[in-house]
Structure 1
Amino acid sequence: MTDREQLLVELVDERGAAVGACSVAEAHTEPGRLHRAFSVLLRDDSGRVLLQRRAATKTRFASRWSNTCCGHPAPGADVAAEAVARLSAELGVAPEGALTEAGSFSYRSGDQASGRVEFEWDHVLIGRYNGDVSAADPDEVSECRWVSVADLRTAMAANPYAYSPWLADVLRLAVVN
């Protein structure tokens, strides 16, 4: 199995233009290095979104609920293609049709539990999926659930620490209602 912390990420400037590469581990070491990432949010035909709880062994924001899938494209790689590959590797699912980019945003958030930092230029990709998730990789995901956007927003307001710090911005870009 590949040590994902040693894979390369694409460093970017404040406009999202590529400026180099470093390892995942280096990019997430305080103070952090701005790098390209993606966040996928899958919806079903009833409008619910698929969430995952990050595995307890994750190096950043472990055991928190987050969008369907997150990852880092390799330097120079196609973001949507890399996102589809991560959906398959983490959850064992494929979107119904192509993923669509809803926009991007930059954020920085430190994880007090691990001492690591997220400093990412995050591409938000949305897609459709109407199945279940029965083949999730336990090293990546501890559980999944479908939830309405309204219920998710209520839960995030009541207990923001239970959710990844980027999820609110993902919802802002990905969800119209």
Structure 2
Amino acid sequence: MTSREHHLVELVDTDGAPVGSATVEQAHQAPGRLHRAFSVFLRGPDGRVLLQQRAAAKTRFPLRWANTCCGHPAPGEDLATAAGRRLAEEVGLDGVALTEAGVYAYRAQDPVTGRVEHEYDHVLVGDLPAAWLPRPDPGEVAAIRWVEPTELRAELATDSGSYAPWLAGVTECLVRYLDAGEESAGGR
């Protein structure tokens, strides 16, 4: 068990209001306790997003493809601060500005480990500098790849078993956010 399993997470109600705290390990034991989380998508200059294949050592959904990085803020911690820390730890990137694209609440049990994700997941989006070179931590990330958001939607519809169970929902938040940005840019 990693030391991260002992970190505290913020338990929330179905509206996202804080109601207490628990360790990561406690929050992910069946039947799962609803807690705050974040999922980050980083976009390259060409509009593709960076996906990671979760490392084999992950306690929940190992070796499944997911968004750029994800994690949990500590109780009361700013989402951008927590997400920035995880970006540095997982893919070696500091200082990217992140914007919230929406929230996706879900529950999923890992058939292999029995652990449960029951999360109030804030979807964050950031743009990568053109010169950034990925430096994924092999203890966190098995592989990385770039994909167009619409292509990702199609892949999720035909092969959901290769992906983390939250990826379809957070991708929908991303696509709605991107579509809204294009509409407002076109209306100027």
Q: Partner residue of 1:62?
A: 62
TM-score computed with the length of structure 1 as normaliser: 0.94
* Residue deviations 1:48-72 (CA, integer Å, cap 9, x gap): 0000000011000000000000000
Range moving further from structure 2, 76-85 or 86-95: 86-95
Contact 1:103/1:124, CA 8 A, preserved across alignment:
yes
Root-mean-square deviation (Å) = 1.2
Structure 1 residue 163, shift from structure 2 partner: 0.5
Q: Partner residue of 1:161?
A: 161
Give the distance between the partners of 1:152 and 1:13, measured in 2 at CA. 30
1:46-85 residue pairs with structure 2 within 5 A? 46-85=46-85
Q: Partner residue of 1:14?
A: 14
* Residue deviations 1:11-54 (CA, integer Å, cap 9, x gap): 00111001111100000000000000000001112110000000
1:28 partner amino acid: H
Give the distance between the partners of 2:104 and 2:34, measured in 1 at CA. 12
1:166 partner amino acid: W
The structure with the largest helix share of the pair is 2
Q: Partner residue of 1:121?
A: 120
Q: Which 5+ residue runs of structure 2 have no aligned equivalent? A: 180-188
SS at match of 1:63: coil
SS at match of 2:20: strand
Structure 1 residue 81, shift from structure 2 partner: 1.1
Contact 1:95/1:127, CA 8 A, preserved across alignment:
no
Contact 1:42/1:95, CA 8 A, preserved across alignment:
no
Contact 1:39/1:71, CA 8 A, preserved across alignment:
yes
Contact 1:102/1:125, CA 8 A, preserved across alignment:
yes
TM-score computed with the length of structure 2 as normaliser: 0.89
Give the distance between the partners of 1:55 and 1:158, measured in 2 at CA. 23
Contact 1:12/1:34, CA 8 A, preserved across alignment:
yes
Give the distance between the partners of 2:111 and 2:28, measured in 1 at CA. 13
After TM superposition, the runs of 4+ consecutive aligned structure 1 residues lying more than 2 A away are none
The number of residues matched between the two structures is 174
Q: Partner residue of 2:140?
A: 140
SS at match of 1:136: coil
Structure 1 residue 169, shift from structure 2 partner: 1.2
Structure 1 residue 140, shift from structure 2 partner: 0.8
Larger Rg: 2
1:99 partner amino acid: L
2:115 partner amino acid: R
1:78 partner amino acid: D
Q: Which 5+ residue runs of structure 1 have no aligned equivalent? A: none
Give the distance between the partners of 2:142 and 2:26, measured in 1 at CA. 25
